[in-house]
A and B are shown apart, each in its own frame.
Chain A
Amino acid sequence: MSSRRIVTGAHYGLRDWLAQRVTAVIMAVYTVIAAFVLISREPISYQAWRDLFSQGWVRVATLLFMASLAWHAWVGMRNILMDYVKPEGLRLSLQILVLLAVASYVGWTIQILWR
Chain B
Amino acid sequence: MSEAALKTPARKARPKYMNLSALLFEIRMPVSARLSILHRVSGALMFAALVWLLWMLDRSLSSEAAFEKIKHYAGLWPVKLALLGLVWAYCHHFCAGIRHIFLDLEKGIEKETALLTSWISFAVSLLLTALLGWKLLW
Spell out A's residues near B (CB within 8 Å): 21, 24-25, 28, 31, 35, 38-39, 42, 46, 49-50, 53, 69, 73, 76-77, 80, 98, 101, 105, 108-109, 111-112, 115
Given contacts A39-B136, A73-B50, A105-B51, contact A28 B98 (CB under 8 A): yes
Docked pose: A47 CA to B51 CA in angstroms: 24
Docked pose: A94 CA to B55 CA in angstroms: 22
Of B9-17, B24-32, B59-67, B106-114, the one with at least 4 CB within 8 A of chain A? B59-67
CB distance from B65 to the nearest CB of A (A): 9
Chain B residues whose CB sits within 8 angstroms of the CB of A38 once the complex forms: 136
Count of B interface residues, CB-CB < 8 Å: 24
Docked pose: A19 CA to B82 CA in angstroms: 29
- Is B3 located at the chain interface by the 8 A CB criterion? no
Given contacts A21-B104, A46-B67, A105-B50, contact A80 B97 (CB under 8 A): no
A77 in contact with B61 (CB, 8 Å): no
Q: Dominant SS at the B interface? A: helix
A24 in contact with B136 (CB, 8 Å): no
B104 in contact with A105 (CB, 8 Å): no
Spell out B's residues near A (CB within 8 Å): 40, 43-44, 46-47, 50-51, 54, 57-58, 60-61, 64, 67-68, 90, 94, 97-98, 101, 104, 132, 135-136
Docked pose: A28 CA to B91 CA in angstroms: 10
A42 in contact with B136 (CB, 8 Å): yes
Return the chain B residue nearest A111 by Cβ.
Answer: B58
Docked pose: A109 CA to B57 CA in angstroms: 9
CB distance from B53 to the nearest CB of A (A): 10
Chain B residues whose CB sits within 8 angstroms of the CB of A76 once the complex forms: 40, 43-44, 47
A50 in contact with B61 (CB, 8 Å): yes
CB distance from B50 to the nearest CB of A (A): 6
CB distance from B36 to the nearest CB of A (A): 12
CB distance from B33 to the nearest CB of A (A): 15
A77 in contact with B58 (CB, 8 Å): no
> 15 A–B contact pairs at CB < 8 A?
A24-B97, A24-B101, A31-B90, A39-B135, A39-B136, A42-B135, A46-B67, A73-B46, A76-B43, A76-B44, A76-B47, A77-B47, A105-B54, A108-B58, A109-B54
